A and B are shown apart, each in its own frame.
Chain A
């Protein structure tokens, strides 16, 4: 099957004003999207922002209350079956049978994808080998680790190579090594020309994988662009400070928040703090601001090991764009001045 579909149609997904209302909640409140073919498109937002609802809708599980979309050139509502034949979904919701083995899961899906019994068995064996799951093939999926499970989920989406792959939070809950494995898989899938739309709560994940990122919050896209474009929209830069003594971090946080009149992030590193600098009138202001902050820290007898001025992280970008952090975890506590 051709990867290009209809000639001249270069968009994998084209959506206008998608709305989904559940009771009182507008889960999607007018989503516009344009995803190029062959692109890895990142959908970034906190829990409940509407990421999964968007994927469910574009993968034809959920009907839009209003708005229109074309997926791989097919109308979302009237040509749902044509879309189903060419997309695959992996994620929090589209998953596998826990009480069957990895091999059984793949062979059943192979048959449902129209493979012959022999071809389905061969494909299952190949996928299990390629995903390093041969040893676990005969075990029921319920006993798999999170990383193994996610790999099998992705393998299940590749029984027939899809033209468009939806990955709903592919690395949520995985340890760093398993995350790295999934990232590598996504890159390889994209390399053969499959369009990937992935949702994530992790800013570094979108930064790592996605060529184009849409930031979603409360059912609306609040920003869109490349990682660099989003960062540049946010401000001039970030002040990173590393202390000698972690005990002094709360004091340093108070001093910085007062000195620069802004919000101080506590990084995962117990010695580190960071702070977004407001857009200064001109570049020389940056030096003056940082100098002032350092003087204040010295006056407060906070021992500083390292100071750096850098581009804002995507996390800080999200905070600036939506007014709250993307991460639901306690990695970042904010103290307002």
Chain B
């Protein structure tokens, strides 16, 4: 290709040597579903690379929750940090990731309003690639946030009886649950492409769910109606499952099974819904 003129420009319109480029036949084949999803994932990661501030929300919530709640509630719950961190840290992990999911929805809502989204929608690629690619980058954020919680916990004196395998299993479970919530916010964002509205809706759902759970307080101390809420709340199950895995207190693994069922159920409802909303013509 000819090199472009970089110095004196003629007053008349420059001519670009594009005719060769246009006639040089490009292999026209449909991008594979996985390649397209990975490309959308890479796009999101590149955005983080150019603007690392994007990670502030994924870092702030876990730091804030882990430190604040450990020292705020720790003493009131069960004596020494090493003891109450066993109960509290897996809960904080679950809650932090659940809360962080809402920012992915906000970002998607912002993405949907840009011209780039419109261009992507006009491409002949598998319609799920955009949503799946977004989930890949969400998974990276959730792993990042999980690492912060775990490292902070270890620094504050938490010693997981489950060891590294237990911690990794708990993180995998919590991230999977987080991704199912991502599907919910993706559907909301595609329905209402306004970041502020999506974050508000996510807040209204996530805040009560996070606190009306067994993350901080054992349900036995609560009034009956609230106990009922806490018992069906998926965040309670995820927190219990994370405790079982991290502390190796699992036994039959009921909470783990319940968490996986909740994750699958939420995903099966909201992932197809998000896909449908993505590909609908307005």
Contacts and interface: CB of A to CB of B under 8 A. Distances in A.
Interface of A: 1, 59-63, 80-81, 84-85, 87-89, 92-101, 104, 108-109, 111-115, 119, 123, 125-127, 129-132, 134-135, 140, 156, 158-161, 177, 180-181, 183-185, 188-189, 191-192, 194
Given A89-B119, A129-B4, A160 B28 contact: yes
Contact of B36 (A1, A111, A132): A111
B224 interface: no
A99 B50 contact: yes
Given A84-B123, A95-B114, A111-B31, 4 more contacts: A95-B119, A111-B35, A114-B32, A188-B16
Interface string B19-56: 10111011111111001100100110011001100000
Contact of A184 (B13, B23, B29, B120): B13
B43 A97 contact: yes
Contacts of A1: 25, 28
B6 interface: yes
A127 B18 CA distance: 8
A60 B281 contact: yes
Given A111-B31, A111-B39, A134-B4, A194 B119 contact: no
A288 B281 CA distance: 59
A125 B114 CA distance: 25
Contacts of B46: 100, 104, 108
A84 B19 contact: no
Nearest to A129: B1
Nearest to A155: B18
A87 B123 CA distance: 9
Nearest first, the 9 A-B pairs at minimum CB distance are A95-B115, A180-B13, A85-B124, A132-B4, A63-B281, A184-B13, A114-B31, A111-B39, A84-B124
B118 interface: yes
Contacts of A125: 1
A189 B118 contact: no
A194 B22 contact: yes
A180 B47 contact: no
Contacts of A95: 114-116, 118-119
Interface of B: 1-6, 11-19, 21-23, 25-32, 35-36, 39, 42-43, 46-47, 50-51, 114-116, 118-125, 129, 281-282
Given A85-B124, A112-B125, A192-B19, A62 B43 contact: no
B34 to A, nearest CB: 11
Contacts of B129: 112
* Residue of A97, A161, A177 with highest tally of chain B CB at under 10 A: A97
Contacts, number: 153
Contacts of B43: 97, 100, 104, 108
A189 B47 contact: no
Judged by DSSP, the binding face of A is mixed
Given A85-B28, A113-B31, A192-B22, A130 B17 contact: yes
A114 B115 contact: no
Nearest to B12: A180
A288 to B, nearest CB: 42
7 contacts: A94-B118, A95-B115, A112-B125, A114-B28, A126-B21, A159-B26, A189-B18
A125 B27 CA distance: 17
Nearest to A64: B281
B169 to A, nearest CB: 34
Nearest to B280: A63
Given A1-B28, A100-B43, A114-B29, A156 B119 contact: yes
Given A111-B36, A112-B36, A114-B31, A96 B21 contact: no
A96 B31 contact: no
A70 B19 CA distance: 28
Contacts of B26: 113, 115, 119, 123, 159-161
A126 B26 CA distance: 13
Given A108-B42, A180-B12, A188-B19, A114 B116 contact: no
